[in-house]
Chains A and B, each alone.
Chain A
Amino acid sequence: MSAEPGVIPEDLLKRMLPPDEKAEGRAVAVIECYEEIPCDTCGWVCPVGAVIKPTITTPPSVDWDKCTGCGTCVLTCPGLAIFMVKLDGDVAEVSVPYEFLPVPEKGQIVWALGRTGRKVAKAEVLRVVTSKDKTSMVTVRVPRELAHVVRAVLPPGRD
C-alpha cells in the first residue's frame, strides 16, 4: 500500500518500468496500473498484442519487444494510466494523456509535472495527438533522469 494515495509505490513502480535497453531510441508504453480493476481496454485496443491481460481484473503488463510505441493505449485507457517513454542519450521523450484546455502546441514550453504535481522541468512540446473522443497525448522532451518522473504537463496559463 502506498504511503501517499495516488502515487505509485516505488517497489511496484520498479516492476512496471521497461529496462533501459527496451526504451533506448524507441518509444514504448509504460502502464502504471497495478490494482485489480475490472477493465481490459488496453488489452484489446493494442494493435500488435503487446499488452498482456490474461483476465479482466489482472493488472496489465507490456511486452516491450512487441510494443511499437503507437500510443493507441495512451489515448484509450479510461484510467489515463498509460504513458510512453523513449530514451535518447541525455534526453528522453515522455508522452502523457491530457484532457485540459488549452491543448499545448508543438514547440511550446510547458511545465512538466511529477506524480504529485511538482513542477520538475520546463519542457518543449514535441508532438500533440488528439483522439476523436478528445483525449490528447502530449509528448515532451525532458532530461533523461526525468524519464520516469514526469507524468503530466501543466495546462499553459495555469502557472
Chain B
Amino acid sequence: MPRRLWEHPILEFERGAEVEFLFEGRPVKAYEGESVAAALVASGVTTLAWSYKRSRPRGFFCGIGKCSSCLMTVDGVPNVRTCITPVRSGMNVERQKLMGELPSDAHVDQEVEELDVDLFIVGGGPAGLSAAIEASKLGATVAIADENFKPGGQLIKQTHKFFGSRANYAGVRGIEIAKILLRELQSLEARWLTRATVVSDYVGSKHTLLVDSPGKAWLVRATSVIIATGAMENMLPFPNNDLPGVMGAGGLQTLMHVFGVVPGEKALIVGAGNVGLILAYQLLQAGVDVKAVVEIMPKIGGYAVHAAKVRRMGVPILLRHTVKRAIGTERVKAAEIVRVDENFRPVEGTEEQLDVDMLILAVGLTPSVEIPLQAGAKWDYIPELGGPVPIHDRFLRTTIEGMFVAGDASGIEEATTAMLEGRIAGAKAASELGLNPAKADKVIGEAQRHLEEFRSGPFSEKVVRGKQRIWEAAREVIG
C-alpha cells in the first residue's frame, strides 16, 4: 500500500493546504505543492496511462518529466506530464485513450513574452544554478528555465551528504546544497522561468529559443546558451519491465523525498552502483523492506562505504545476479532474479522469486542532449559518459558558437562535478561577452583545479577517459 511520510530521519515535509481534485470523476485528496502524479500514486492509483498499441498499464517511472509513463489529460488538455504538474483544487485529471485529442481552442491565444539576455541557461539543477550564479556575479544578464515547478534539479531529492572537498560542499546533504545555491541566486539579478520547457534553439547571429509553459510562451534571444538539462534514467530489457511498480531509482527518490510518498512496502533494486546503494539506504530510512540489491557484474560499481551502510542493516547484495522478469498483470507482485555466468547469461535453475511490490532500476543514465542535437551541435557516442554527448572542450564550449553544455548533459558524472562544470561554463560565457575576463579566468582556473582533484581517483578513471576522448574531438573541430 502506498503511504505519505509524515516523519523522516532527515527530511521535514512542508505540505501545503489540503486540496481536492477529480480523477475520472472521483475526488482525490492532495496537498498543495504535490505533483498530480505523486498525489495519484499516494491515493493508490497505480495505472496512470496505457500503452498505445497493446493497452498495457503504465505507472510512475522517472518523476521528472523525461519519460512518457504519466501522460494524462488534465482539464481537457492531453499528454500533460503529470509528474511535473502541480495539483490545483478542482482540476480534472483523466487517463486518456491513445494519444488523446487536442481541444480546438488550446494554445491559440497564448501570450508570448520576448526576452533578451546575455546568457540563457536551460535547466535549474546543480550545473545550471552554478552557471547562473557565476555569470550573474560577473555582470551578465541571465535567465534560467526549468521544466519543474520546484527548482534545484535532482539536488532536492539527495538526502545523503556529499563527498568531495570543503570548498565544494563535502559533508553537506544535497537538499541543503540546493538551498544554498538557490539562496545565492535569489540575491542576484537572474530571471527564473518556471515550468518552462525549451522547445528549440535556432542559431543565427544570436540564439533564438522558443520556451513553452502552461499559459505562456517566451521567445528568448541570447548571445550565449548553457545546456544543463541533466539526464534520463536507463531502462533494462526484461519481460514485464513496463509494469507499474517498475520505477527508476531517481523517480522513486523524487516520490519519497520531494513529495514524501512511498509507493510500496518491499523493494528489489537492480544495480549496485552508488545510485542503487544510496537508494537502498534511503528506502530503509523510509521504512521499506529492501529484499536485495542485485548486480550483474562480479563486483559492485559504487563505493564500499555505501555498500557497508546497507549490508550492516541486513540487506543482501547479490553479485552476478540480475532480474529475469517482473511478475504481475496490473502491477508488480513479485520479481524473479537469476544468477548469471561469466558471459552474463542466466544460469538455469538459479531463479529465485522475491516478494516485492517495487522493482527499482538503478542501471545508469543517458545524457539529455535533445536541444544541442536539434541545434546542430556535433556529438559523439561515448560509452564512458553514458552515451550521446555534445563535443565540448575544457571550457564546456560545444561546436556551436555561444553554446555550452554542463553537468550530466555533458556526460554522466556527479552533482559535485556538475556544479564545477556549471561554474566554468557560466564564467567562460561571461568572459566571452567581455565581462570581467580576469576575474572569470580566476573562477575558471579554480574550478578546473577542483575538477581535476575530484576526478583524480580510480573511481573517475572511466569518466576521465570519456572526457579525454571528447576533448580530443573538440581540439579537431573547435580548436
Give the B-binding residues of A (Cβ under 8 A): 1-2, 4-8, 32-41, 44-45, 55-57, 76-81, 99-101, 103, 113-118, 133-135, 151-152, 154
Contact size class for B? 35 or more
Is B303's CB within 8 Å of the partner chain A? yes
Which stretch, B4-12, B61-69, B142-150, B347-355, touches the partner chain A?
A: B4-12
Q: What are the 7 closest A-B residue pairs judged by CB atoms, nearest first?
A: A117-B314, A6-B307, A79-B305, A6-B311, A39-B163, A78-B161, A57-B457
9 contacts between A and B (CB under 8 A): A1-B299, A35-B303, A36-B458, A37-B305, A76-B171, A79-B303, A101-B285, A117-B312, A151-B308
Is B170's CB within 8 Å of the partner chain A? yes
B9 touches A100 (CB 8 A): yes
Q: Quick one: given A81-B308, A116-B314, are A5 and B163 in contact (CB under 8 Å)?
A: no
Q: Quick one: given A37-B303, A113-B314, A133-B173, are A101 and B9 in contact (CB under 8 Å)?
A: yes
B305 touches A99 (CB 8 A): no
B303 touches A38 (CB 8 A): no
Which residues on the A side are within 8 Å of B312 (C-beta)?
Answer: 6, 113-117, 151-152
Which residues on the A side are within 8 Å of B7 (C-beta)?
Answer: 101
Which residues on the B side are within 8 Å of A36 (C-beta)?
Answer: 457-459
Expressed in whole angstroms, the minimum distance between the Cβ of A83 and any Cβ of chain B is 11
B311 touches A115 (CB 8 A): yes
Which residues on the A side are within 8 Å of B308 (C-beta)?
Answer: 6-8, 32, 79-81, 115, 151
Which residues on the B side are within 8 Å of A57 (C-beta)?
Answer: 456-458
A56 touches B456 (CB 8 A): yes
Which residues on the B side are within 8 Å of A7 (C-beta)?
Answer: 308, 311
Chain B residue nearest in CB terms to A36: B457
Bound CA span A44–B299, Å: 31
A133 touches B161 (CB 8 A): yes
Which residues on the A side are within 8 Å of B172 (C-beta)?
Answer: 133
Kindly supply a per-residue 1/0 record for chain B positions 415-437, scoring 1 wherever the CB is within 8 Å of any chain A CB and 0 otherwise: 00000000000000000000000
Interface residues of B in 32-60 (CB under 8 A from A): none
Is B300's CB within 8 Å of the partner chain A? yes
Expressed in whole angstroms, the minimum distance between the Cβ of A146 and any Cβ of chain B is 14
A34 touches B161 (CB 8 A): no
A117 touches B170 (CB 8 A): no
Expressed in whole angstroms, the minimum distance between the Cβ of A9 and any Cβ of chain B is 10
Is B455's CB within 8 Å of the partner chain A? yes
Is B185's CB within 8 Å of the partner chain A? no
Expressed in whole angstroms, the minimum distance between the Cβ of B296 and any Cβ of chain A is 13
Is B270's CB within 8 Å of the partner chain A? no
Q: Which listed residue (A8, A45, A56, A101) contacts B304, Cβ 8 A?
A: A8
Chain B residue nearest in CB terms to A99: B9
Is B26's CB within 8 Å of the partner chain A? no
Bound CA span A3–B32, Å: 49
Which residues on the A side are within 8 Å of B173 (C-beta)?
Answer: 133
B459 touches A38 (CB 8 A): yes
Kindly supply a per-residue 1/0 record for chain B positions 433-468, scoring 1 wherever the CB is within 8 Å of any chain A CB and 0 otherwise: 000000000000000000001111111100000000
Which residues on the A side are within 8 Å of B170 (C-beta)?
Answer: 39-41, 78
Bound CA span A152–B314, Å: 10
Which residues on the B side are within 8 Å of A2 (C-beta)?
Answer: 304
B285 touches A38 (CB 8 A): no
A35 touches B304 (CB 8 A): yes
A117 touches B303 (CB 8 A): no
Bound CA span A151–B164, Å: 24
